[in-house]
Homo-oligomer: A and B are copies of this chain.
Amino acid sequence: MTSTEPVQRRTRQRAEIRDAVEASQAFATSQEIHDRLRHSGSTVGLATVYRALQAMAAGGEVDTIRTPDGQVAYRTCTPGHHHHLVCRGCGKTVEIDLPGLESQTRAIAREYGFAEIDHEVEFFGTCADCTAG
């Protein structure tokens, strides 16, 4: 496993972006992160935010989901495999575990002769606060 990946340089921008994602409890899109950074005085470019978040996602540093309307959103999560329960109102996210799903997935793969199965499992709901408000 000779990593041919070029080294990721540490830049001011990436640090700012990383901080911004970590500061959020909810999933945020590249555009949202960019907005926040700009509003707090940063000069990062939008393309840079897109590139950095993609790189971080590829490196497993952040999780990604696709919002119901199709946008990609990022969030710093707990390491290890898990799924998400996301509030449609405020975006608040809870990490959840789905015991049994992995083995069911493997069984299904075997049954139908599919290989390299990947799953996309997310839950969207309305949290107590948003239901009340």
Contact = CB atoms under 8 A, between A and B. Distances in A.
Interface in A74-95: 85, 87-88, 94
Nearest to A70: B70
Interface residues of A, number: 34
A120 interface: yes
A130 B127 CA distance: 42
Interface string A89-128: 0000010101011001100110011111111111111111
A2 interface: no
Number of copies: 2
Nearest to A98: B104
A101 B94 CA distance: 17
B98 A127 contact: no
A117 B87 CA distance: 9
Contacts of A98: 101, 104
Given A66-B70, A70-B70, A115 B121 contact: no
